[in-house]
């Protein structure tokens, strides 16, 4: 049975290989068959020169003739604010930019100072709360130590009385 299945697998692989080869080379064979099997050497094949009568590419002026009439110098002449900005000297513009950056820096510094003060206030509040907790913990620890000492003392007294009671004949519960 294994010999038969092995030959079946081999047959399937051969069929798969043939189909793959036909899929890869099929289109090339089909075009050859369609054109006819003309056996010529590659050197004798020559192409005729191509003759094109294509129109020239369109220019931007032909597509949008109104764009050529625009000039940058006319831009914003109607707006008085823009006109005033454009007339400023380069040095004036630079000094205005520096003033703006200084103002932004001062605002940033002021915001940082406010944030730092708030952080310092919150940290002080947390410090006070931590000190309260530490004091309460110390008080509780002292009370616990005192309670332990009283408990030890009571155990000693209880053992003493229990020993005396046993000497007098008490047998316990």
Has residue 147 been placed in a domain? yes
So what's the pLDDT on residue 102?
Answer: 95
Has residue 134 been placed in a domain? yes
Q: What is the pLDDT along the chain (173 residues), one digit of tens a residue?
A: 577 778 888 888 999 999 988 888 888 777 777 777 555 545 555 666 766 777 776 666 666 666 555 555 555 567 777 777 777 777 788 888 999 999 999 999 999 999 999 999 999 999 999 999 999 999 999 999 999 999 999 999 999 999 999 999 888 77
Instruction: Report how far residue 17's alpha carbon sits from residue 40's, in angstroms, rounded to the nearest whole number.
Output: 31
So what's the pLDDT on residue 75?
Answer: 59
pLDDT, tens digit (0-9, with 9 covering 90-100), for 5-24: 788 888 889 999 999 888 88
The alpha carbon of residue 6 and the mean position of all alpha carbons in its chain are separated, in whole angstroms, by: 55
Task: Write the DSSP assignment of 50-80 as a string of letters.
Answer: P---PPPPPPHHHH-GGGGG--GGGTTTT-H
Has residue 80 been placed in a domain? no
CB 68 within 8 A of CB 61: yes
Has residue 3 been placed in a domain? no
Has residue 43 been placed in a domain? no
pTM across the whole model: 0.35
Output the CA–CA distances (angstroms, integers) from residue 86 to 69, 98, 111, 166, in the order listed: 22, 18, 34, 114
Per the structure, the count of domains in the chain is 1
CB 26 within 8 A of CB 18: no
Has residue 128 been placed in a domain? yes
Across the chain, what does the average pLDDT equal?
82
CB 86 within 8 A of CB 76: yes
Considering all CA atoms of the chain, what is the largest pairwise distance in Å, rounded to the nearest integer?
141
Output the CA–CA distances (angstroms, integers) from residue 40 to 37, 45, 49, in the order listed: 9, 7, 20
Has residue 137 been placed in a domain? yes
């Amino acid at each position: 049975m294994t010999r038969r299945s092995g030959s079946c697998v081999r047959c399937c692989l051969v069929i798969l290989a043939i189909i793959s080869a036909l899929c890869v080379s099929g289109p090339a064979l089909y075009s050859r068959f369609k054109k006819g099997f003309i056996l010529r050497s590659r050197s004798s094949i020559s192409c005729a020169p191509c003759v094109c009568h294509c129109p020239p590419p369109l220019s931007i002026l032909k597509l949008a003739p109104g764009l050529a009439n625009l000039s940058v110098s006319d831009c914003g002449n109607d707006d008085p604010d823009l006109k005033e900005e454009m007339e400023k000297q380069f040095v004036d513009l630079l000094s205005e930019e520096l003033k703006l950056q200084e103002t932004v820096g001062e605002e940033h510094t002021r915001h940082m100072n406010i944030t730092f003060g708030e952080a310092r206030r919150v940290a002080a509040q947390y410090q006070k709360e931590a000190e309260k907790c530490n004091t309460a913990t110390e008080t509780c620890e002292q009370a616990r130590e005192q309670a332990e000492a009283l408990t030890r003392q009571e155990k000693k007294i209880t053992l003493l009385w229990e020993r005396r009671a046993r000497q007098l004949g008490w047998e316990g519960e």
